[in-house]
Amino acid sequence: MSDAAIATPLTRLVGVRHPLVQTGMGWVAGPRLVSAAAEAGALGILGSATMTVEQLRSSVREVRSRTAAPFGVNLRADAGDAAERVRIIIDEGVRVASFALAPSRELIARLKDAGVIVIPSVGAGRHAEKIAAWGADAVLVQGGEGGGHTGDVATGVLLPQVVDAVDIPVIAAGGFRDGRGLVAALAYGASGIAMGTRFLLTSDSTVPDAVKSRYLAATVKDVTVTTKVDGLPHRMLRTELVGSLERSGRAASLLRALRHAAAFRRETGMGWAEMVRDGLAMRHGKELSWSQVLLAANTPMMLRAAMVDGRTDLGVMAAGQVAGLIDDLPSCAELIERVMAEALATLRALPHTP
């Protein structure tokens, strides 16, 4: 455990030792990874979007059995069962609720009334202003370098815009892996950094070894952005499968989406009516066409094929550009100690004005 510490508004808000966040990646951020990150002093976030309600409650309790440190749960604000998941977060005493999409004013109020810290993700300064006015405690902003669904504005451009727009803690994501990145984010005015790919590539991650090997072998140029998985810009490793998806026609894409929608329904126990409700919410929130809504059913099952089943030939691997710079698999404790030690060394090495 590292004694190196940098106190920020984020660490004081959440009660963690270090201004580091392990993001709530679906199929990846389960109890083992989250508890390891939390125990080492970061804010670990469970990825609940790919869990059933029962699995979420069980996972929260498993994390609690492994560590007394604060942790959070990431969930979709537009999911049909969002209210039920929020109830679990409140009942189980989870410290933080994070959202990939902005929650409603009413949902924020319900969580805050129960003492839960609310940290939505935002993609622009105006979004941050809106969600801060609704009572969010902090915001996470991901630049275009980040893995998974992403935008096209680089972190170095987007982050200062958001920092200047709000007076609540801002967490920077997209392109971070080490202590130098933490110092850079702090210099921009952020209160900490969030890392997904870097935590995925640890020994505490349950991602199969064959998949981790593909990440470790990747260069920066092996990370691409495609809309062929679910109709939205999605940053992932470039593989033969991704190349095949890029070449596939509309009919083949829709047929594949229907097949994966049926598989996701079986996996989660969701009814078709519930899936349609979620699709309507996605269509409204992101102004998607019905074809894109249907394609969105691809994401959970294609990610599962790689992240759970280890099938790099059948699944896709969401990845930040930083994957091309990562070449080892430390434990979460080793990673966090390294990041904090490097951050302090970097700060000490900066030139000082008289």
Residue 1 lies in a domain: no
Residue 2 has a CB neighbour count (10 Å cut-off) of 17
Cα dihedral angle (209, 214, 217, 221), rounded to 10 degrees? -150
Residue 67 lies in a domain: yes
Domain hosting 266: range is: 219-318
Kindly state whether residues 127 and 241 are assigned to the same domain.
no
pLDDT at 323: 98
pLDDT at 315: 86
Kindly state whether residues 176 and 240 are assigned to the same domain.
no
With CA atoms as reference, report the closest residue to 125 among 165, 81, 70, 180: 165
Residue 299 lies in a domain: yes
Kindly state whether residues 188 and 223 are assigned to the same domain.
no
Kindly state whether residues 31 and 62 are assigned to the same domain.
yes
- Angle, helices 250-268 vs 272-286, to 10°: value is 120
Residue 90 lies in a domain: yes
Residue 250 lies in a domain: yes
Buried b (16+ CB within 10 A) or exposed e, 194-218: bbbbbbbbbebbebbeebbebbeeb
Tens of pLDDT, residue by residue over 78-123, are 888 999 999 999 999 999 999 988 899 999 999 999 999 999 999 9
Kindly state whether residues 148 and 272 are assigned to the same domain.
no
Residue 2 lies in a domain: no
Give just the sign of the alpha carbon dihedral 183, 184, 187, 190.
Answer: negative
> pTM above the 0.95 mark?
no
Residue 212 lies in a domain: no
Kindly state whether residues 149 and 128 are assigned to the same domain.
yes
Half-sphere exposure of 105 (CA within 13 A, CB side): 5
Residue 262 lies in a domain: yes
Kindly state whether residues 38 and 88 are assigned to the same domain.
yes
Judge contact between 151 and 175, C-beta under 8 A: no
pLDDT at 160: 98
Cα dihedral angle (339, 345, 351, 353), rounded to 10 degrees? 100
Which residues neighbour 318 within 8 Å (Cβ) at sequence distance 6 or greater? 25, 147, 148, 196, 234, 235, 236, 303
Kindly state whether residues 17 and 152 are assigned to the same domain.
yes
Kindly state whether residues 153 and 275 are assigned to the same domain.
no
Kindly state whether residues 37 and 159 are assigned to the same domain.
yes
Alpha-carbon distances, residue 27 vs 55, 208, 342 (angstroms):
12, 11, 30
Kindly state whether residues 172 and 197 are assigned to the same domain.
yes
Kindly state whether residues 274 and 192 are assigned to the same domain.
no
Tens of pLDDT, residue by residue over 277-323, are 555 555 455 555 655 666 666 678 788 889 999 999 888 999 999 99
Domain CATH for 117? 3.20.20.70
The count of domains in the chain is 2
Q: What is the mean pLDDT of residues 196-210?
A: 98
